[in-house]
Amino acid sequence: MLTIALTKGRILQETLPLLAKAGVEPLEDIHSSRKLIFPTTLDDVSLVVIRGTDVPTYVRYGAAQVGVVGKDILLEHGADGVYEPLDLGIARCRLMTAAPTGRIRSRGKLRVATKFVNVARDFYAEKGQQVELIKLYGAMELAPLMNLADEIVDIVDTGNTLRANGMEPLEIIADISSRIIVNKAAMRSHHAQVRHLIERLQSALDDRGQGQ
């Protein structure tokens, strides 16, 4: 059996059509179900739908052999024990710093709110900027408005959330898209299945690139 761990939310919406093109379709509608495990049109492939932060954990331990997860999660939580053989090019966005529009930057230690504390620590250290990192779990844009932080590190897609909250993007830390990850041991134990899946996904991507 090959289990693919999928990230729920926007990534899932963009993953399912690609998987379908690769011949893997859940036997029931994932969106209207409360189930977490889904058999598919391929007898030997099942899907599990979980939070992005949990995907590398399932794959690292081999509970799932394959995962679909955002590069932001891999950058923040590490990619130990997994290979990253394919960029699906979906759910594209940027990991950026942002601050209230027109903010005059004060000298000294910046307070930065983010859920990407490891990425942020490395980014500001590289710049030689002293920071106090404040870990949040969502709605980062609120932190500067409430005087909790001077700036944030967060995902920016359209920029609408920043604009709606009087903020502007500043620096790009990384371009983000969703990746296929594979458990290192499973790359050997499930070699044929994994290779087959990656090839079919690659040709689904190629077809899409040609506008088919």
Residue 157 engages ligand PRP in binding (rule: CB under 6 A): yes
Report residue 1 as tokens: 């059996």
Closer to ligand PRP by CB, 22 or 156: give it: 156
Shortest distance, position 138 Cβ to ligand PRP, whole Å: 4
Shortest distance, position 14 Cβ to ligand PRP, whole Å: 13
Instruction: Answer yes or no: are the C-beta atoms of 75 and 119 closer than 8 Å.
Output: yes
Instruction: Answer yes or no: are the C-beta atoms of 75 and 38 closer than 8 Å.
Output: no
Of the candidates 49, 51, 48, 4, which has an alpha carbon nearest to the alpha carbon of residue 23? 4
Residue 81's identity, in one-letter code, is: G
Residue 151 engages ligand PRP in binding (rule: CB under 6 A): no
How far is the first Cα of the chain from the last one, in angstroms, to the nearest whole number?
31
Shortest distance, position 163 Cβ to ligand PRP, whole Å: 8
Instruction: Answer yes or no: are the C-beta atoms of 65 and 71 closer than 8 Å.
Output: no
Stretch that binds ligand PRP, among 32-40, 67-75, 158-166, 178-186 (CB under 6 A): 158-166
Residue 154 engages ligand PRP in binding (rule: CB under 6 A): yes
Q: Which of 108, 138, 209, 211 is close enough to bind ligand PRP by CB under 6 A?
A: 138
Shortest distance, position 167 Cβ to ligand PRP, whole Å: 10
Residue 161 engages ligand PRP in binding (rule: CB under 6 A): yes
Q: Which of 147, 158, 210, 212 is close enough to bind ligand PRP by CB under 6 A?
A: 158
Residue 150 engages ligand PRP in binding (rule: CB under 6 A): no
Closer to ligand PRP by CB, 54 or 154: give it: 154
Span 13-52, contacts to ligand PRP by CB under 6 A: none
Residue 159 engages ligand PRP in binding (rule: CB under 6 A): yes
DSSP string over 65-89: SEEEEEHHHHHHH--TTEEEEEE--
Residue 155's identity, in one-letter code, is: I
DSSP-derived letter for residue 24 is -
Please tell me the total number of residues recorded for the chain in this structure. Answer: 212
Question: Where do we find the tokens 């993953």?
Answer: 15
Residue 155 engages ligand PRP in binding (rule: CB under 6 A): yes
Beta bridge partners of 75: none
Task: Give residues in contact with ligand PRP (CB under 6 A).
Answer: 138, 154-161
